[in-house]
Amino acid sequence: MSIPDLAAVLWRQRELLERLVYRLECEQLLMAAGRTRFLGFATAEVEALLDELAVVELQRAAFADVVARDAGLDSGASLEEIAAGVQPPWTEVLIEHRQSLLTLTAELSALAETNRHLMAAGLKAVEQAMAQLGLRQGTTSLGYDAQGRTDVIAGHARTVVDRAL
């Protein structure tokens, strides 16, 4: 494991983060347009990317630890510390990767926050529609109760499905 290996893993991480930005933007556009038919597919793609990113993050951490030790640094050194401890041109390469990762992370945070707001607004609209139809009484949300069981919170719901069948 060497600096080029670390740089290759950082490139892979950046590519996956870019794809995640794209997928979250697609998810956002679907929600904003009220087109929820494929929202499940979009969410599954986001989850698959997150799983792939978790593997790449482990690889990045392992390569970074080896490069850090080779540069006389402690394991767990930050990318900025590693960049300062290696020779050019790798210093600039690692600094560029770090800056790109910071930018992508900020962009992902903003997208995730906006998507959370859109989902909450959609849930509220569905709950209001169900209440107007008499399908839910009071403020209700499906979630978990204090014991971790799936339950209807803050109210009782009339069921639409005839369970006697």
Coil vs helix vs strand at 72: coil
The pLDDT, as a whole number, for residue 123 is 75
Give pLDDT tens digits for 94-137: 999 999 999 999 999 999 999 888 888 877 777 777 777 776 55
pTM of the model: 0.75
Q: What is the pLDDT of residue 63?
A: 97
DSSP, residue by residue, 16-33: HHHHHHHHHHHHHHHHHT
Cis peptide before 88 (omega within 30 of 0): no
Q: What is the pLDDT of residue 55?
A: 97
Residue 159's closest CA among 140, 145, 149, 144? 140
Strand, coil or helix: what is 152?
Answer: strand
Give the tens place of pLDDT for each residue, 3-55: 999 999 999 999 999 999 999 999 999 988 888 888 889 989 999 999 999 99
What local confidence, expressed as pLDDT, does residue 129 receive?
A: 75
- Residue 160, both tokens: 């639409």
pLDDT surpassing 50 at residue 159: no
pLDDT top residue among 165 and 73: 73
Residue 147: its pLDDT value, please? 67
Question: What integer pLDDT is reported at residue 122 of this predicted model?
Answer: 77
Residue 68, number of CB atoms within 10 A of its CB: 21
- Measuring CA to CA, how many Å separate 111 from each of 43, 49, 150? 14, 15, 28
The answer to whether residue 156 scores a pLDDT higher than 80 is no
In residues, how long is the chain? Answer: 165
Q: Where are the domains of the chain?
A: 3-133, 137-165
Per-residue model confidence (pLDDT) at position 162: 47
